[in-house]
Amino acid sequence: MAYLGAAYLWVKAAHVIFVIFLMAGLFMMPRFFVYHQETVPGSPEDKRWIEREGRLLKIILNPSLILVWVFGLMLMVEIGAWHFGWFHLKLLFVLGLSGYHGWIASYTKKLARGERPLGDRQLRMLNEIPGVAAAVIVIAVIVKPF
Residues 6+ apart with CB under 8 A from 145: 86, 139
What does the CA dihedral 39, 44, 48, 51 come to, rounded to 10 degrees? 110
pTM for this entry = 0.93
What confidence category does residue 119 fall into, taking pLDDT thresholds of 50, 70 and 90? very high
Q: What average pLDDT is seen over the chain? A: 96
The pLDDT value recorded for residue 130 is 97
The pLDDT value recorded for residue 2 is 76
Is the per-residue pLDDT at 1 higher than 60?
A: no
pLDDT tens by residue, 31-61 = 999 999 999 999 999 999 999 999 999 999 9
Contact 37, 120 (CB under 8 A): yes
